[in-house]
Structure formats: C-alpha cells, structure tokens
C-alpha cells in the first residue's frame, strides 16, 4: 500500500482559556445549538475528563448505572433485577479480572480512565444528593472498564447462557461412570457519482437506558479530533468520524460462548476431573445488595444476601441439579476494548486502524470502515476462539479434557472481510458474515473458520439493499440517503433471525378463512408495496400481525411448522384474526395510517413515525396507549459522513432520537424528535471555529 502523506493541524491555546475547578485537567466545553458537547482539551485525557463530565451533566443516572454495575451494586438501583445482574458480574469474575489486569493497558489508556474517574469524583463532590450509593466513592479508573467488558458480553448472548445454566435448560452430556440491529454502509469513488467517499454509521440500539447512544465531539492538542457516539460514561467514542476516517459498528452473530459440562470426581466433593486429574472448584460467595424500597432513592430497606459462585479452569462455573457447568467467553478475558477503541479514535489511515483492530479487545461487532483516501473495508470482527476438531461446539461440550480448553483466537486476517471491492461498496445489516458487498466479491469460508459457526441468514434489510442496488453503476448522495431511510421490506419477506419464511402469510386463501377475508385483503394490498410509510393505511394491521404473531414464534412453534405445513397456515390465519379484532377495537376499522399506531413519544412530545422492524429505517416498540406502539429501539443515532476529494474536513450530518439531554424539562430533552421522525439531520463539524460559531454555551466542567 502506498504511504499516505497528510498534515496535522495543532491548536495552541493560552492556558488561561482552560482554567477550571480541577487544576489537573484543562478542558473547555462548547455546546452547540442542539446541546451537543464539543470538548476541547490540551491532552486526550482532558477530553475524557470532559466527556464523562458532560455525560454526567446530561444523564447522571445512566452513568451511575455503569459505575454501580462495576461494583456489583445495581441491586441498590434496580432491586431484585439489578441483583441478578450483580450476580452475573461476580460469577463471571469481572471485578477481580479488571483489578488483576489493569496494568495490561498502555499508560496512555490508563490516563483516559484516570481522567474519567477524576470527572466522576469531582461531579460527586458537587452533587452529593444525586449519588445513589455513597460507598461508590472514590470512583476508580477500573470502574469504567466493566461497562466495556459487559456490553460486549451482552452482545454475544452471555445472559442467555447464564439463564440456561441457572434454569437447567442446556443440553447435558452422559459421562461414562468408569472412565454447552444495525445498519452500516460505505461507498468509494468506484460507485459514487461525485468521486467522494460516503459512510452511513447507524447502529440500532435501545433509544433509552445504559445501551443508548450519547453524541460528542472530542478534540485535543495531541491529535485527537473525532465526532460520533458512545455509551454514557465511556472515555472515548465508540463509532464515528475523525479528520481522516470513520467507522460504524453492527452486531455480528457467531458462537462466541461455550458451555462445558464438568465431570465430577466421585471420590472428592466439589472436585472435577480433567484428563484423569482431579481439580478442586474454587468456591466463594457473591455479595448482593437488594433495595426493597418502593422508591429506590432511599436505602432504608436494603437486604444484603450471599449466593455461592464457583470457578474452574474453564471459567465461571455453576452447580445445578444436572451437574457442574462452566461458561467460557472472550469478553471476561481481556480489558483491552477500551484501548482498542482509543486507538481507533486516533488512527490517521487504514494501516493504523488495522493495527488497532489487531488488539482484538472488541470481542465482537462488524466494523464497516471508510476514509478520505478512498479506502473502504468491512470485517466480521471479534475474538473468535481456535477450537479443537471433533466436538459439537454448538452444544454443551466436554469439560473433562484440556483439548476443549481454547486459549487463542483466530488472527484478524483470518476473519471474514472485504477490502476495496471493485463494486465500490461494503455494508452490513446484521446479516451473514459471508455477505458484505456485491455477491461475486463476498468473502468465502476459510478452513480455519470451520469450528466457528457464523449465522448464515440474510435480513430483510440486506435483501432490500440488494434490490435497491440492482442495475446501479453510480450512486449520488441523494440516492445514498434514499437507501439509508428506505422504509420497505423486500419483495419476499423473510423471517429475520428465524429459520422459516413468513411470505405465506400474505397469500392466505380468503375462501378457506372466510371470516377474515377482509383482513386478508388488507394483508395482500400491503404486500404490493410492502411499505412502512407513515401514511400507509394497510401497514397498521400488518404490523399488529407482526408483533402479535411473528414475534411470538418460539422453537416449539417452529418445530410444529416443520412437522405440519397446514399448522403454519392456520397459525398465520389466527394471527390475522387477532390483528383484525385489535384494529376494530382500537381504530373501529381495518385501515388506519401507520402513524396513528406507531409513535415516537417522550415527555409531552408524541409524534407519528415511519419505518418498522428490520427495515433500513428501523423502528420497533412496545405497547403504548390505546392500541399503539411506542418506539423503543432501532434508529437511535445516525451519522452520515462524506469524505471529499479535496482533502477538507468531512461533511457530517447527524441526528439522535430525542436530544442531547436525558433530563426531563431540559431544552435539549426532545429537540431532535421532529428531525428524527421526518428523516432529517443536523449539521455537525470537526472544525473548532464551527463549534464556537454555533455555540449556545461555553464553559468549563464544574461551572
């Protein structure tokens, strides 16, 4: 690859500009007209201090959630449900691992974490009444790592693995007594009409809560200059765009977690056999605090309990009625995700970015990348175990031999990836790792991947993308936006993340199901265009069918589909029957605009919105009001970047689902909602001059 030459612009600013409460950090915060914090510091650590300070200012409860998570004290905030999470955190050994491996991080990364802790402690001193748990003080640098590790664990499905073991639903082994939603799109000059490089960064996350997005711009005199989104309380940006490049994350699906059944030693209690050698289970107790008060701001009714936990050479271990079971996953084996993201933030070109990915601290997530040098790249990224042949890694595996005890991961170049395809585009919509560009340029399975089970499904979004690209040799920016905001299902509706096709639901026989012939007619009328447009009067009944019937399908029902095709049609028809009854109950008719049903609501703002589950314009919601749905996940943060051939700063447009603040009544609590529902975006920039020109407020943390 040719060496790339570029110039870095350093900003030299008078120290007096950065004077503030904490003399160790020199930060100035510029809030633009939408409340987005542009954080300027001398050092990268200054920016981390400012980022945590701003997150606390805008949503301290979510930051507190992450800090309580790290201490195993969520039970104080969430009661019994929080205590369950606390047990999982302690069972997985996360707190001890972080303490023991904190020094694995580079000095530069530790400075970011130290800055985050300092920001938290400074905030707590000024806001003692908002501190949910006084024992949290002093906040420590290690407290910020748990959120990184556990968000990765959750995205690989560790909650399901723990539930299966505790609930005794995992497959078991009979031992011989003698002897277990998001979009990203990048295009380069091979296909863009203007020769520029386009990037759509659009992860689908919950709209609120610990896994929701927080937008910020970080710029330091040490070369950091990036705008994008992160989780509340993180010390860097998770995905976004800097002066030279940008990337988006989408969740990939592969078997990242293994469940082992240990072989008990019949001669020794709480011992297990591995290759004939007896090992003792390490036993301890998780300390759980459960707040039983109706209002969790009081600690008058806190119950402290202990629950046993175990550890084996395979990892976190649990004993139930079926035996001893261990969970092994990469996310509780590294603290390096925070370092990897930091280096991605700082990367100046593809080579530096790839070096960051080699850390393999981010143990899952696709990366869709673009830069101003016309490079595009997509990889099904992660820490994928190198597993031994001869075992069924999709089921419970033997925990009585070191042959199953994996310790290494596939090198990054062995993961499914595409670099600069001739077609000029790469994409991911949570579809299979072997489909990320034009079909004739997709990556093929490698022999080294044979013990990694990748999902092989397409999603409605991936199929729809291919439809929209048919016959296209050049794409302009307007068509790029048309793809991004598309609100249609493909010609044949698949069942995302399910093993069957639901297309038959739109071809039911009105004569066979005469009592719902009128509703079947609505289903068929919708299927002509398959639209999620806000004004579509057929979509509402279809969406009620999707939520009430499709989402209710489980493994037992799927099995019945396979055994009896007639049952499948009757099941679909029963769903249409229920949807019809709901339409008449809620709207008094079978046709009502989708916007009357699907709502984007917060506080006193309640708006109709387009899109739908598994569309590019992704929206999914919970029951709300009289027969309506309130959007809770999907389109949560959108960042659209254009890298221009002239080498100037990238053009950037963004929108977040509600606003920059999560404080009810605040000016920026709901001020982006109108843009959000109308598929509009706001201008953002990496330019310092731009930030000051659009400043609504300029201040220093603590003021």
Query: Concatenated DSSP letters for 284-347?
Result: EEEEEEEE--SSTT--TTEEEEEEEEEEETTEEEEEETTEEEEEEEGGGS--THHHHHHHHHH-
The model's pTM is: 0.92
Which ranges constitute the DSSP H helices of 18-138? 44-71, 75-78, 80-91, 94-101, 107-126
Asked whether residue 478 falls in the same domain as residue 508, the answer is no
What is the residue-averaged pLDDT of the chain?
91
Q: Which domain holds residue 548?
A: 503-610
What's the whole-number mean pLDDT along residues 163-183? 52
The verdict on residue 527 lying in a domain is yes
- Please give the Cα distance from 657 to 304 (Å, whole number): 38
Q: How confident is the model at residue 629 (pLDDT cuts 50, 70, 90)?
A: very high
Asked whether the beta carbons of 22 and 122 are under 8 A apart, the reply is: yes
Asked whether residue 451 falls in the same domain as residue 537, the answer is no
What's the whole-number mean pLDDT along residues 481-488? 97
Per-residue pLDDT for 151 more than 90? no
Per-residue pLDDT for 2 more than 70? no
Asked whether residue 462 falls in the same domain as residue 552, the answer is no
Per-residue pLDDT for 465 more than 90? yes
Element (H, E) at 575: helix 565-587
Q: Which residues pair with 368 in a beta bridge?
A: 248, 378
Q: How confident is the model at residue 294 (pLDDT cuts 50, 70, 90)?
A: low
The verdict on residue 270 lying in a domain is no
pLDDT for res 83: 87
Per-residue pLDDT for 420 more than 50? yes
Of 610, 625, 648, which closes a domain?
610
Per-residue pLDDT for 288 more than 70? yes
The verdict on residue 167 lying in a domain is no
| Residue 396 neighbours by CB distance under 10 Å | 21
pLDDT for res 493: 82
Say which DSSP state 441 is in. Answer: G
pLDDT for res 172: 47
Query: Concatenated DSSP letters for 505-548?
Result: GGG--TTTTGGGHHHHHHHHHHHHH-B--TT-SSHHHHHHHIII
**597-625 pLDDT tens trace:** 999 999 999 999 999 999 999 999 999 98
Q: How confident is the model at residue 295 (pLDDT cuts 50, 70, 90)?
A: low
> pLDDT above 90 covers what percent of the chain?
79
What's the whole-number mean pLDDT along residues 399-404? 98
Per-residue pLDDT for 174 more than 90? no
The verdict on residue 489 lying in a domain is no
What's the whole-number mean pLDDT along residues 421-429? 98
Of 555, 590, 610, which closes a domain?
610
Question: What's the total number of domains in the chain?
Answer: 2
| Residue 69 neighbours by CB distance under 10 Å | 23
pLDDT for res 18: 39
Asked whether residue 417 falls in the same domain as residue 467, the answer is yes
pLDDT for res 146: 84
pLDDT for res 80: 87
Asked whether residue 366 falls in the same domain as residue 469, the answer is yes
What's the whole-number mean pLDDT along residues 213-231? 97
Asked whether the beta carbons of 507 and 567 are under 8 A apart, the reply is: no
Asked whether residue 563 falls in the same domain as residue 512, the answer is yes
> pLDDT above 70 covers what percent of the chain?
91
pLDDT for res 178: 36
**69-116 pLDDT tens trace:** 888 898 999 888 888 888 888 888 888 899 999 999 999 999 999 999
Asked whether residue 469 falls in the same domain as residue 385, the answer is yes
Q: How confident is the model at residue 293 (pLDDT cuts 50, 70, 90)?
A: confident
User: Residue 35: left (phi > 0), alpha (psi -120 to 50), or beta?
Assistant: left
The verdict on residue 75 lying in a domain is no
Asked whether residue 473 falls in the same domain as residue 527, the answer is no
**557-567 pLDDT tens trace:** 999 999 998 99
pLDDT for res 176: 39
Asked whether residue 447 falls in the same domain as residue 548, the answer is no
Asked whether residue 572 falls in the same domain as residue 439, the answer is no
The verdict on residue 390 lying in a domain is yes
What's the whole-number mean pLDDT along residues 261-276? 96
Q: What is the CATH number of the domain that holds 353?
A: 3.60.20.10
Per-residue pLDDT for 320 more than 90? no
What's the whole-number mean pLDDT along residues 20-27? 85
The verdict on residue 82 lying in a domain is no
Asked whether residue 377 falls in the same domain as residue 513, the answer is no
| Residue 308 neighbours by CB distance under 10 Å | 11
Per-residue pLDDT for 132 more than 90? no
Q: How confident is the model at residue 292 (pLDDT cuts 50, 70, 90)?
A: confident
pLDDT for res 154: 62
Per-residue pLDDT for 170 more than 80? no
pLDDT for res 210: 87
Q: Which residues pair with 531 in a beta bridge?
A: 488
The verdict on residue 166 lying in a domain is no
- Residue ranges with strand state E in 160-301: 182-187, 197-206, 214-220, 225-230, 239-242, 245-250, 257-264, 271-274, 277-280, 282-291
Asked whether the beta carbons of 362 and 256 are under 8 A apart, the reply is: no
Of 430, 449, 484, which closes a domain?
484
Asked whether residue 474 falls in the same domain as residue 519, the answer is no
Per-residue pLDDT for 144 more than 80? yes
Q: Which residues contact 555 (CB under 8 A, 6 or more apart)?
A: none
pLDDT for res 231: 94
């Amino acid at each position: 690859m040719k060496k790339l030459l570029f110039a870095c612009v350093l900003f030299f600013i008078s120290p007096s500009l950065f004077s503030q409460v904490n003399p160790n950090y020199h930060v100035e915060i510029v809030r633009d007209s939408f409340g987005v914090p542009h954080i300027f510091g001398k050092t990268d650590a200054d920016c981390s201090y400012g980022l945590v300070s701003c997150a606390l200012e805008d949503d301290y409860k979510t930051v507190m959630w992450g800090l309580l998570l790290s201490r195993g004290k969520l039970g104080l905030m969430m009661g019994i449900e929080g205590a369950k999470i606390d047990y999982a955190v302690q069972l997985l050994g996360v707190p001890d691992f972080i303490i023991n491996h904190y020094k694995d991080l580079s000095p530069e990364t530790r400075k970011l974490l130290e800055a985050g802790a300092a920001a938290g402690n400074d905030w707590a001193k000024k806001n003692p009444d908002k501190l949910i748990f006084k024992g949290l003080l002093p906040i420590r640098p290690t407290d910020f790592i748990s959120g990184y590790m556990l968000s990765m664990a959750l995205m690989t499905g560790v909650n399901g693995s723990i539930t299966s073991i505790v609930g005794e639903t995992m497959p078991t082994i009979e031992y011989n007594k003698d002897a277990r939603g998001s979009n990203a799109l990048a295009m380069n000059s091979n296909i863009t009409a203007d020769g520029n490089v386009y990037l759509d960064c659009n992860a689908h996350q919950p709209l609120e809560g610990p896994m929701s997005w927080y937008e910020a711009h970080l710029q330091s005199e040490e070369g950091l200059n990036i705008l994008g989104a992160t989780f509340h309380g993180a010390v860097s940006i998770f995905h976004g765009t800097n002066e030279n490049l940008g990337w988006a994350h989408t969740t990939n699906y592969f078997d990242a977690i293994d469940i082992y059944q240990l072989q008990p030693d019949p001669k020794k209690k709480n011992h297990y056999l591995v290759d004939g050698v007896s090992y003792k289970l390490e036993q301890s107790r998780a300390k759980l605090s459960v707040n039983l008060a109706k209002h969790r701001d009081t600690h008058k009714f806190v119950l402290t309990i202990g629950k046993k936990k175990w550890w084996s050479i395979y990892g976190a271990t649990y004993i139930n009625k079926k035996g001893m079971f261990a969970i092994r996953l990469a996310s509780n084996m590294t603290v390096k995700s925070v370092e990897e993201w930091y280096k991605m933030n700082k990367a100046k070109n593809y080579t530096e970015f790839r070096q960051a990915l080699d850390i393999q601290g981010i143990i899952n997530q696709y990366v869709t990348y673009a830069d101003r040098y016309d490079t595009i790249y997509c990889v099904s990224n992660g820490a994928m175990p190198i597993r031994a042949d001869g075992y069924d890694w999709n089921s419970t595996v033997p925990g009585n031999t070191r042959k199953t005890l994996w310790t290494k991961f596939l090198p990054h170049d062995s993961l499914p990836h595409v670099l600069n395809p001739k077609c000029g585009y790469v994409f991911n919509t949570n579809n299979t790792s072997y489909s990320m560009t034009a079909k004739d340029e997709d990556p093929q399975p490698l022999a080294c991947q044979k013990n990694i089970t990748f999902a092989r499904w397409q999603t409605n979004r991936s199929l729809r993308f291919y439809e929209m690209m048919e016959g296209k040799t050049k794409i302009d920016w307007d068509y790029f936006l048309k793809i991004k905001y598309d609100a249609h299902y493909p010609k044949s509706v698949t069942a995302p993340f399910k093993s069957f096709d639901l297309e038959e639901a739109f071809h039911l026989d009105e004569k066979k199901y005469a009592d719902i012939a009128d509703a079947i007619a609505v289903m068929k009328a919708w299927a002509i265009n398959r639209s999620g447009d806000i004004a579509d009067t057929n979509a509402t009944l279809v969406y009620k069918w999707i939520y009430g019937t499709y989402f209710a399908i489980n493994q037992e029902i799927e099995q019945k589909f396979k055994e009896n095709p007639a049952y499948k049609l009757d099941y679909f028809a029963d769903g249409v029957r229920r949807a019809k009854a709901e339409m008449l109950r809620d709207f008094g008719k079978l046709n009502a605009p989708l916007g009357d049903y699907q709502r984007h609501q917060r506080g006193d703002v309640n708006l109709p919105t387009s899109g739908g589950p598994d569309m590019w314009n992704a929206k999914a919601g919970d029951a709300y009001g009289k027969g309506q749905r309130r959007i809770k996940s999907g389109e949560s943060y959108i960042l659209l970047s254009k890298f221009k051939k002239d080498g100037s700063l990238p053009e950037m447009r963004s929108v977040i689902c509600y606003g920059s603040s999560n404080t009810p009544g605040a000016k920026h609590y709901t001020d982006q909602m109108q843009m959000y529902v109308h598929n509009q975006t706001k201008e953002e920039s990496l330019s310092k001059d731009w930030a000051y020109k659009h400043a609504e407020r300029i201040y220093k943390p603590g003021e």
